[in-house]
Amino acid sequence: MNNSNFTLNSENLLKLIDMDKYKGIRNISSIISKDMKNTSYKLALLRAFCDISEKFFNCIDLSHKDKAGIPIDFVADLWILYYWEFINSDKFFPQRRGESPESFRKIAFRNELTDFVEKYRDSGGLSGFYNDYINNKVQFPKLYNKLKDKLKNTIIKGPVFYSGNYNGENPFNYSNNQIWMDSELWYEITAFNYLIRESVILKWVEFVREISELTIGAGTILEKLIINPVHERDVSNARDVFMKLDDIKCVWTHGSIKKFEVDHIIPFSLWKNNDLWNLLPTRPDVNNRKRDKLPTNKLLISSKDLIIHYWQILEKDLPIRFLQEVNKFNGNFKDEYMIKNWENITFKNLVKSIEYTAIQRGCERWEA
């Protein structure tokens, strides 16, 4: 996968938000609205695109002219998260018209996901699965693979094939384990992802409420859709590693410190991300001032050596978890050059991710 031709800065992204040239919101709206929805599949697909464009854009294949490729495995795994709490409930939440506990007209993967959810009930439920997933240690691999195959088949034959109208054509197609779309459409999803995600979730609530014949409250449905598998900040493993160091320097001020706190480089409030590459030691008062702000590019560049220094320490102490998380962040790269140069590539992607998030979310920037 080659992402070298994708560069992002404020000027490039703001150019995307040109309603006359790109018709961004109108194009997305036409995909959401211009066909009869018999299932929630298309809403789940669009939500997955939004989540991937925000947090996993390094996995996007932009090496083909005018096309963007999204790995279907990422989409399928996100669908497990979206549908989990609907399945993990004593109440039946229909996801297609005519679906009921007694009906044969069920969503294609309900049986497989039900079996998987039930297996995980004694292993931490949704949070347990997500923790296993990010560490590549998913339990019940046969069930998981069966579920993934069913999900991918459903995604390909369902919303990818029947996705409404975009410039008079089907906007998506599938090949080589990737869902493809025009790069212009991908940039529109990228630029407007926060608005699209909110719209999709509300449409999903409306859809389930309608097909349940108004027997389920909107708040109950929304609660199932917004549950996050990462409930709280978890910096314990990173803290244990840093506690063993003889000399700790604040990653942002660069001075030696006796007491430290573990900072989320990309604030937890924005990404809900406890990956080790995102956790670094800082002075308590500095951490308090930074809070939910994103560091400036100038600060990141000045702190590059320390950031990489701590990454190398984390990689040495917790190699399996650290490299798996870095690999996912960098787009599951396989190229030997990238593997040998993971530090610089990860730092480049960190800078890009922070700039990208700042533009998308309108976040305040911070400089120590």
Q: Is 269 left (phi over 0), alpha (psi -120 to 50) or beta?
A: alpha
pLDDT of 17 > 50? The answer is: no
The answer on 323 and 246 residing in a single domain is yes
Give Cβ neighbours of residue 278 (< 8 Å, ≥ 6 apart).
264, 265, 266, 271
Same domain, 317 and 176: no
pTM of the model: 0.82
Written as six digits, the tokens of 302 are: 């000045």
pLDDT digits (tens, 9 = 90+) for 143-178: 999 999 999 999 999 999 876 655 667 789 999 999
- The answer as to whether 3 is a domain residue is no
Instruction: Report whether pLDDT(312) > 80.
Output: yes
Residues 92 and 179 in one domain: yes
Same domain, 125 and 93: yes
Last residue of a domain, one of 161, 193, 226: 226
pLDDT exceeds 80 at position 54: yes
Q: What is the pLDDT of residue 110?
A: 97
Residues 83 and 29 in one domain: yes
- Give the angle subtended at the CA of 113 by the CAs of 108 and 116, to the nearest 5°: 155
The pLDDT, as a whole number, for residue 184 is: 86
Q: Taking the CB of residue 254, how many other CB atoms lie within 10 A of it?
A: 12
Does the structure show a pLDDT above 60 at 337?
Answer: no
The pLDDT value recorded for residue 1 is 40
Q: For residue 135, give the DSSP letter.
A: T
- Please report whether residue 355 resides in a domain: yes
Q: Find all residues with CB under 8 Å of 312, minimum gap 6, and list them.
A: 343
Cβ 290 vs Cβ 325: under 8 Å: no
| Shared domain check, 105 and 16 | yes
Which comes out higher in pLDDT, residue 59 or 315? 315
Mean pLDDT in residue range 25-29: 65
Q: Would you say residue 93 lies in a domain? A: yes
Based on the fold, state whether residues 62 and 208 are members of the same structural domain: yes
Token pair for 299: 């600060």
Please report whether residue 1 resides in a domain.
no
User: The domain containing residue 269 runs over which residues?
Assistant: 236-366
Cα 229–343–345 angle (5° rounding)?
Answer: 80
Q: Summarize the confidence of residues 249-261 as an average pLDDT.
A: 96
Average pLDDT over residues 128-157: 93
- What would the DSSP string read from start to end of 298-336? HHHHHTHHHHHHHHHHHHHHSHHHHHHHHHHHTTS---H
Residues 88 and 125 in one domain: yes
Residue 261 parent element (H or E) = strand 261-264
For 262-287, write each residue's pLDDT tens digit: 999 999 988 889 999 999 999 999 99
Report how far residue 245's alpha carbon sits from residue 256's, in angstroms, rounded to the nearest whole number: 11
Instruction: From 203, 226, 249, give the residue that closes a domain.
Output: 226
Taking CA atoms, 302 is separated from 235, 288, 294, 296, in Å, by 24, 20, 15, 10
Task: For residue 108, tell me if it sits in a domain.
Answer: yes
What is the pLDDT at residue 165? 59
Same structural domain for residues 199 and 277?
A: no
The Cα 66–Cα 84 span in angstroms is: 35
Average pLDDT value for the chain: 87
Nearest to 117 by CA among 159, 74, 71, 83: 83
Residue 32 has pLDDT above 60, yes or no: yes
Give domain status of residue 4, yes or no. Answer: no
Instruction: Count up the domains in the chain and report the number.
Output: 2
The identity of residue 169, as a single letter, is E
Give the end-to-end CA distance of the chain in Å, rounded to a whole number: 36
Whether the pLDDT of residue 120 is over 90: the answer is: yes
Cβ distance 230 to 127 under 8 Å? yes
The residue from 170, 193, 226 where one domain ends is: 226
Confidence category of residue 334, pLDDT binned at 50, 70, 90 = low
- In single-letter form, the type of residue at position 171 comes to P
Give the DSSP per-residue string, 195-211. Answer: HHHHHHHHHHHHHHHHH
| Residue 12 predicted with pLDDT over 60 | no
- Residue 84 sits in the same domain as residue 202: yes
Residue type, 246: D
Residue 302 falls inside a structural domain: yes
- Considering the domain architecture, whether residues 152 and 195 belong to the same structural domain is answered as yes
Residues 293 and 331 in one domain: yes
pLDDT, mean of residues 42-50: 94
Nearest 5 degrees, angle CA 249-CA 251-CA 254? 55
> Does residue 5 fall inside a structural domain?
no
Mean pLDDT to the nearest integer, 58-75: 91
Q: What is the pLDDT of residues 165-224, one digit of tens each?
A: 556 677 899 999 999 999 988 988 888 888 889 999 999 999 999 999 999 999 999 999
Distance between CA atoms of residues 320 and 282, nearest Å? 24
- What is the pLDDT, as a whole number, of residue 34? 61
Q: What is the per-residue pLDDT for 124?
A: 92
Give helix 304-317 / helix 342-361 axis angle, nearest 10°. 120
- The Cα–Cα gap between 162 and 208 comes to 19
pLDDT at 6 over 60: no
pLDDT at 56: 83
Confidence (pLDDT) at 329: 87
Length of the chain equals 368
